[in-house]
Structure 1
Amino acid sequence: MVGVTVEAALSLWDEVLENVEYRTMPLSVTVARDYVLAETITLPHDVPHFNKSAMDGYGLIYEDGRRNYIIDGIIGAGVVWNAQVPLGHAVRIMTGAMVPTMCDTVVMQEQCKTDGHIGSTLEIQGQITKGSHIIYQGEDGRKGLEVIPEGTVITTAVQAVLMGLGYEMVEVYRKPRVLVLTSGREVIDPGLKLVPGKIYNSNRVMLQGFLKDLGVVETVQYHVTDDPVAYDDELEAIIRLARDCDIIVSSGGVSVGLYDTLPKMYTALGAKVLYGRIQMRPGAASYGAVTPKGQLIFGLSGNPGAAFNGWHLLVKPVLQRYLGREGQLGKVLLCSLGEGIEKKNPFDRYVQGSIVFEKGRPVFYKNCSNASCGLVGLVTVNALAKIPKGVNSVSGGEDIEVHML
């Protein structure tokens, strides 16, 4: 099977996503963190919706040359002053309090010589300017202004803004329920004794962790042994678990090996195959399909390093769009190559490594090992450098395109 490039695979997923029915729901702002807004937020009122004091000080009507004012009262935050403030008079006012409509200036407390008591006189020290220290109605934004676009990920800061605007509920995109599958008779859980021929299951926690990074926490996990004797029982389990899932992400079992049975199981789900191989290294063993119910299926290599690349290049950009975000590969940065890379590349190669800054310039250093089965080196990976198909040597110091993760 020849396969398609990463770019071609993403284009196929774009076509699929055009027909996806994006489900939304109302959700309390207090629990909406990591969800994606399904509506554009506009200001329901002017912000602020009244003139307020920017300082602790005294509100008054400015008169050129006047230095002394009689204090008529005190206004705390949340208090509305309904009386008049005549010429030559002032009211003591706290930060954030509503400035009386007739007052056009606030003099900060540090410029006033007074005991602050009602009925006493204050003397202004130094120069003041008419209109100073007032935050005017609508200064932050006028009613109807679009301030948070649809597709915005709700962070803590966004929650604070929504609450500050008085939003109790917002419309968000529903998060998918994901079935995470790992495969292989050689795979065992940590805690069990490591014997010859066995490896620990790192892909399960990696895939569930990547999903959590996107805010997807509703996952179901199942391990397929690929043992022919267990095939029927495992197929029945997958059919049952897949009923209530929107997306399936698997690792292993999608290459051309004798025991790579996941594609056959996906066929039993009615899956329409988009691609069965990707023209890239590492991670060529990749699979993409859609079921008649609209479920998305991503099959990644069982090798940790290859699965890592497949997630970032194929799965993450698609799921970002599925979640209502703008889905795209990591931002591309032109970096100087820290050391040369020589490797035959019949397909595009995505080299794992890290970006560091030297003398103010980004430099990319490849991992000590870039084998598809590489595991330990993933600790420091923060970028993937793309070496195009047919380029078999890149020298140290040469500029190279790097996808930031």
Structure 2
Amino acid sequence: MERSGGGGARPRKMSSRGGASYIQSLDSNIICSIFAYLDHFDLVRCSSVCKSWHNIVRNSTLLKDLFCKQHPACVDLSNVSFPPEKSLKLYFEELAMEQHRLSFVNGSVDVYQWNAHSFGVNQCRMKMGMILTGVGDKVLRMWSSESFRCLGEYSVSNMAPLVDFDFDESKIVGLVGTRICIWRRHGKRSIFPSKEGTFRRGLCMRYVDPEAVIGCGDGTVRVFDMYSQSCSRIIRMHTGPVTCLALNDDQLIISGSSLGSITVSGLSSDQRVASLKSSSAPTGIRSLCFNPSSYLVFAGSTAGYSHCWDLRTMRPLWEKRVSPNVVYSMGHMWNDTSTLVVGGIDGVLRILNQNTGEFLASYVTDRGTTTAASSSNKLGVVEKKKARALSEDACIDDIPRQLRPPITCLAVGMKKVLTSHNGKYIKLWKFNN
């Protein structure tokens, strides 16, 4: 999750499209007073939103006061016996992650569905309570994950097709043909071409300020400085197209290829430094994600397998066939070390154990009654449905395709999952304890 700091004491107004004040501009004492009304679950979730909120929670007495409220017998923390390696914040964080895991496995699921675009949308991102969707009708749209209201539109008209994108608190970065396009969340757009080392086709992109990393059809990964607008490195990673990327905090690039290989390189290197091997026959790698809390790398293949490696040893931990065909997307919360959400061509949303690959739960949209949610947006009414949990031996072919459209992309938040399906609509799955 991207993190960046908040601002000064006087509230600034957003553009007319936003219609509200920047919460980052509130004084830290005011934010701390607001946070005092939250329980441990929401407080830990807020500490993961951005660096400024993380520092407010860490440097205040909020967690200490909350612990003492929940444990009246403890006059102060000197009476509390934590393991040596466990801080108070870690205690609450683990408690929140356990509730997150239990909601995925044992909770009921409400599915909110709405038309996000006029044409098919096959990619989505979610963080900080916001959703970004695109690829299809040459427009990116930002949504609220709570109200489902459209918060902004970012056009890519009269340009090459949008290939990939991501966002943080201040900007949206997109790969548009052979160009990198940066939209300021509340300002102008800037575009720059691949000046050095021009490539024909970019297939995927990830970024960590100040560098954007592009996976190319010729098997190279190209690193661009987003502010000097120059290509700093060209890394030969594969003999076939680079189909997916993941970055970690130690300046490592993990890339997957359509030929089935996964390689690791450093942002400062000009060549790959390691390869991740699998025990099964090579199949195309379609999706990748990295867990910075456990140093585990996960990959989804075109043959329906999910794989896991420990990046510290470069050794495989498990592999499991989770779908009859392509695993398009997988994800988890950045600080969750227990659950992995997987989606693919068969349209079943699956929850796996990160450490073993064991199936924990599977879901499809229920065929029951659809109701209109209490909100709507300019593209139509938000519909509310229920999800149905599947048994491990359920026959997927007996479930109608309209209840399980292919999951082309997913993003994971606290007790919720966002999915796109190469159609006009997107779904937000909310898991309740």
Which band: TM-score by shorter chain? under 0.3
Larger helix fraction of residues: 1
Instruction: Determine which structure has more spread, i.e. the larger CA radius of gyration.
Output: 1
Larger strand fraction of residues: 2
Q: Which protein, 1 or 2, shows the higher relative CO under an 8 Å CA cutoff with sep ≥ 6?
A: 1
